Amino acid sequence: MMNMGLDEQTDTFQWTKPMELFQGKKVVKVCAPMVRYSKLPFRMLVRKYDCDLAYTPMIIADSFVKSLKARDNEFTTCKEDRPLIVQFAANNDLDFGDAATIVSPFADGADLNCGCPQRWAQQEGFGACLIHKPDLVHNMVLQTRNRVDNPDFTVSVKIRIHNDIRDTVNLCKSLEAAGVSWISVHGRTKDQRNQPVNLEAVKLIKENVGIPVIANGDIKSLEDIEEVKKLTGVNGVMCARGMLQNPAMFAGYDNTPLQCLKDWVDLSLKLGTAHTIFHHHLMYMSERIMSKAEKRIFNTLPSTPAVLDFLQENYDVKYEKG
């Protein structure tokens, strides 16, 4: 049905179910859904460094449902890739419910993207435009929740905030009534890019719902996590760019350790990663490690073998040539 990566799922590997993660006082540390980047090899990398929960990149639900090729291309996992949330872009309850049902034997939850600010997505009725359609999103969550048989399978939503935060609070209350498992909140509106994250808005949402809330936006260190938790009371934090620059951030590293680079090379070669993505990840990870002169050379390397040779010669990152 779809590419299962290293192994078919089995019952021998034990993992913590998503809702159990939220039961303690510990802040749940989440790797965000990132287009092109949060695929299987990167998810497996961050899991080595104290990431509690990982998302797939956003997948277009209707294509995923209709096309076997799309499923094989967009969704690759393995038995150790847990707990796993599959994020979908959808504009109706049928597509979202169908897509969630398809992945339910292989993942721990489905997430509805209501936060993507890109114009193409909103023109298709996906992403951030959905926060202005609360009745539709309520029904998408409700119908999907009712369709998936597994009671441990979560249905979550990732949102941006409205200009009037009261609208966001009302949306979140509606989603709670629909049975949503948790809500991830990027504390900016769909039109904001570099403005500071509105932590007051996140705090207000948390105070008005009884379900877990995950804060997203501008979290780049354990100190940021502690500060966001203190200011908002959220149950979890979700990181994107901070994780690209330092996949070991959740384990307390200020910069990407050399071992993390080695782990990325091993996982990428083992699982298969296109050169562009393999190289881009390393460019992010080495941003604070390499000198300007090294970056000028490294960033123009044309192939995976060239990248591997550079890492071995300059950083003793060894690999087995197959």
- Cα radius of gyration rounded to whole Å, the chain: 19
C-alpha–C-alpha distance, residues 197 and 217, integer Å? 6
Choosing from 236, 251, 266, the residue where a domain stops is 251
Domain assignment present for residue 12? The answer is no
pLDDT one-digit tens code per residue, 261-298: 999 999 999 999 999 999 999 999 999 999 999 999 99
Q: Residue 1: what pLDDT? A: 38
**DSSP-assigned beta bridge partners for residue 184:** 158, 214
Please state whether 254 falls in left (phi above 0), alpha (psi between -120 and 50) or beta: alpha
- Give the domain range for residue 267: 258-315
pLDDT in tens, 187-201: 999 998 889 999 999
Give the 3-state secondary structure of residue 289.
coil
For the cut 50, the answer to whether the pLDDT of residue 9 exceeds it is no
Q: In 3-state terms, what secondary structure has residue 184?
A: strand
Amino acid identity for residue 314 in this structure = N
Look at residues 67, 18, 48 and name the one whose alpha carbon lies nearest to residue 247. 48
Q: Closest Cα to residue 197, out of 208, 185, 209, 205?
A: 185
pLDDT tens digits, residue range 135-167?
999 999 999 999 999 999 999 999 999 999 999
Residue 231 falls inside a structural domain: yes
Same structural domain, 216 and 283? no
Instruction: Give me the percent of the chain exceeding a pLDDT of 90.
Output: 90
Q: Are 239 and 132 contained in the same domain?
A: yes
Same structural domain, 241 and 278:
no
**215 and 290 share a domain?**
no
- Say if residue 287 is in the same domain as residue 187: no
What is the total residue count of the chain? Answer: 322
For residue 319, what pLDDT band results from cuts at 50, 70 and 90? confident
Q: Please state, in angstroms and rounded to a whole number, the distance separating the CA atoms of residues 159 and 113.
A: 7
Number of domains in the chain: 2
Respond yes or no: is residue 116 known to be catalytic.
yes
**Lowest mean pLDDT, pick from 23-27, 91-95, 162-166, 256-260:** 23-27
- Please report the pLDDT score of residue 140 as a whole number: 98
Among candidate residues 230, 251, 272, the one where a domain is terminated: 251
**Residue from 174, 188, 109 nearest 138 by CA:** 174
Which residues pair with residue 28 across a beta bridge? 236
Q: Which of 251, 274, 293 is the last residue of a domain?
A: 251
Instruction: Check residue 25 and give its pLDDT.
Output: 78
- Does residue 241 sit in the same domain as residue 110? yes
State how far the Cα of 202 lies from the Cα of 217, in Å rounded to an integer: 11
Read off the pLDDT of each residue in 72-98 and give the average, rounded to a whole number.
Answer: 97
pLDDT above 50 for 46: yes
Are both 306 and 205 inside the same structural domain? no
Mean per-residue pLDDT, 294-321: 91
CATH number for the domain harbouring residue 82? 3.20.20.70
Of 116, 172, 239, 260, which residue is the catalytic one?
116
If asked whether residues 243 and 262 sit together in one domain, one would say no
Mean of the per-residue pLDDT values of the chain: 93
